[in-house]
Amino acid sequence: MLTTKNRLQKALLAFFISVTCQFFSIGIAHADEIRVSAAASLTDVMQELNEQWEQEHPQQKIKTSFAGSSTLAKQIEHGAPADIFISADKDWADYLEQRKLLDSTSRMDLLQNDLVIITPVNNDIAIVMDKNFDTSVFVKNRLCTGDTASVPVGKYAKQALQYYGWWDAVTRNLVETEDVRTALAFVERGECKLGIVYRTDALMTGKVKIIATFSKESHSAIVYPGSLTARSSPEAEQFWLFLQSPKAAAVFERYGFTLFQ
């Protein structure tokens, strides 16, 4: 006959076994999970590439976090799990590499992009890319882009606006967002009549139209560097090589990206 003490010991043992099994089950479930932190502008193309990889490697699962490059870099710095980091500018890749959080031997410049001005598709605003252009259009309309101090698209936008001499006119109606997709959404909804985003983002929706493209000399080259992290897995290394392959290149180009030359 079991005593109360024996019953308690038996219950505790059963609980311990149950928890241990759950722990190992979770470990097994996530053993082949590849975690990618990628700039928000890569959302659509990466989702397609993830699906391709998972179809060919059904035992693996790609888990992707999309956000502004600054946000992702800070998350990785504070311990967020990531096997691969793809930034929309070199600064945030440099930031993590300087802190020894990237595998510098795996780092490479993967893609390039263009910077454009957009407006809602039914809007009739016209902008001429000339330093003598009448900037009253910026005084009358809100312009949305990424945070100009930290988010890559916002940093590129500020450089370009300063190059054309439009920065002072824009600042009074400037709306700065956490990433480029949020800026795009503001223009889609008409909350901002103007927006500065990447060409690839503008091409992803029928709710906006491109009304101007900034010249390449007006801002730093828009480069997407990528790298394995210092804590990446062997599976992640294979996926990173896949993203550099001709097969992946064809998908990137279909979404409007330019391969880095």
pLDDT of 15 above 60: no
Kindly state the tokens that stand for 189: 């909804």
Residue 208 corresponds to which tokens in the numbers above? 């906006």
Q: 2 vs 85, which has greater pLDDT?
A: 85
Residue 32: the pLDDT is: 80
Residues sharing a CB contact under 8 Å with residue 209, sequence separation 6 or more, in sequence order = 118, 119, 120, 121, 123, 202
With pLDDT > 70 as the criterion, what percentage of the chain qualifies? 88
CB atoms within 10 A of CB 246: 7
pLDDT in tens, 99-150: 999 999 999 999 999 999 999 999 999 999 999 999 999 999 999 999 999 9
Instruction: For the chain, give the mean pLDDT.
Output: 90
Single pTM value for the model = 0.86
β-sheet with 143-146: strand ranges across: 174-177, 143-146, 194-198, 115-120, 208-213
pLDDT in tens, 168-204: 999 999 999 999 999 999 999 999 999 999 999 999 9
C-beta of residue 112 within 8 angstroms of C-beta of residue 223: yes
* Contact status, residue 232 vs residue 147, Cβ threshold 8 Å: no
